[in-house]
Structure 1
């Protein structure tokens, strides 16, 4: 074998080794990354502050990933695209104030519930609306893709629904008088009322429900790992600290 042949042979061997080793290395790196989607427009659950993603769900997901020995890679997407995107394998999981419902559970799996919520009604402080029954005949704004849409359709058929893309748009419409009320998740409603004078949340909640992290039906192992991580951070006090940070109360 000539010197040139030896060099070419060594080069071919190196290329072959790279082609064999590189995929395994990439896979090992990918195994340490958890791709998670959210719609960061729902304070205090998830929102952006000075260009940084933050909120209860964000802190919770980062803590879960740490307990699992992984890092989170975030994908921002409109709420209505969370479940379809998850099913289409665009990401591994979705956390965004998602209620565990029978309809959603038919197409995706959920972790154990990680926080109690429900639907609440936000109105202006001087609104004549005092109870949910007063919503009939009024313009009520909701975010597309959320449970609020079907809930109002099924339980308050006389309501004039005003459907918008973002949570903030609902609040804006109530503020300028283009909607009489907004129906949204309890944490977001109370957070907005606390931060903006001139609004209040009705005492009577529309529903009492629980939030869960959505994963694909074929990702039972990932779901179980997240459940184990959730139990771990509850046991070591991390979960309670996150609840205290965002809601000013200790976890039960």
Structure 2
């Protein structure tokens, strides 16, 4: 009986250690794959700048990526509750978010932009937004930015990026406020809309990590520097944005 107990204990230890190793070998990442060119689904496959960059970072860390799809507004709460390890979904690094989560080094710079119909003559600059109907995505900085800076705007808050653009195209919204890279890409494919040249803000994108995961944040930062140094990062920027940055 003693021998059987010892063998059982050893087997349990091996099983547990293998599970720990397996967990260490996986990077659990969540995204809202509805924000082209950062993350989206094409031909049934998740892809985009953030997706490929995370895959490259994980490879440099010797890990595999386990993806979770979730609405944008649930990314930070899900991260804090340990549903996953990283939130990668074109997330701006803001003071408000830094109070509850940590971020990797910035990996791209963008900003909030205004998209309107191509024949719109009433909105020529940011100040013209006041008194207009503006579509924004729930949980994004666009919502709080308009609240704080354009109190006379009537916000139309929607769940998905596509809905936000659609409201402008069908005339239910006078404008949409969102990240410039996504707005420009959409406008390039849709001659009926345009993006104003002057942006509302300059923002830095980062991958969100829990505050108690400093080792993971550092490892991701080191891996990010590796993919910058070996040319992978520049190739992805060129692929998704058309120019180096």
With normalisation by structure 1, the TM-score equals: 0.94
Q: CA RMSD in A?
A: 1.1
The DSSP-based 3-state class of the residue aligned with 1:29 is: helix
Query: Are positions 1:71 and 2:64 aligned together?
Result: yes
Residue of structure 2 in register with 1:37 after alignment:
30
- What is the CA deviation profile of residues 186-216 of structure 1, one whole-angstrom value per residue up to 9, with x for unaligned ones? 1110110011121100010000010001000
The DSSP-based 3-state class of the residue aligned with 1:210 is: strand
State the shift of 1:12 in Å. Answer: 4.8
**Where does 1:127-142 land on structure 2 (aligned, <5 Å)?**
127-128=120-121, 129-142=123-136
The whole-number CA distance in structure 2 between the counterparts of 1:201 and 1:208 is 15
Query: Are positions 1:28 and 2:21 aligned together?
Result: yes
The whole-number CA distance in structure 2 between the counterparts of 1:161 and 1:83 is 22
The whole-number CA distance in structure 2 between the counterparts of 1:135 and 1:198 is 19
Residue of structure 2 in register with 1:196 after alignment:
190
- What is the CA deviation profile of residues 164-188 of structure 1, one whole-angstrom value per residue up to 9, with x for unaligned ones? 0011100111111111100001111
The whole-number CA distance in structure 2 between the counterparts of 1:9 and 1:89 is 39
Residue of structure 2 in register with 1:104 after alignment:
97
Identify unmatched segments of 5+ residues in structure 1.
Answer: 1-7
The whole-number CA distance in structure 2 between the counterparts of 1:188 and 1:11 is 62
The whole-number CA distance in structure 2 between the counterparts of 1:130 and 1:14 is 76
The whole-number CA distance in structure 1 between the counterparts of 2:187 and 2:4 is 67
Residue of structure 1 in register with 2:165 after alignment:
171
State the shift of 1:233 in Å. Answer: 0.8
Query: Are positions 1:91 and 2:89 aligned together?
Result: no
Identify unmatched segments of 5+ residues in structure 2.
Answer: none
The DSSP-based 3-state class of the residue aligned with 2:89 is: coil
Query: Are positions 1:236 and 2:193 aligned together?
Result: no
State the shift of 1:88 in Å. Answer: 0.4
With normalisation by structure 2, the TM-score equals: 0.97
State the shift of 1:15 in Å. Answer: 3.1
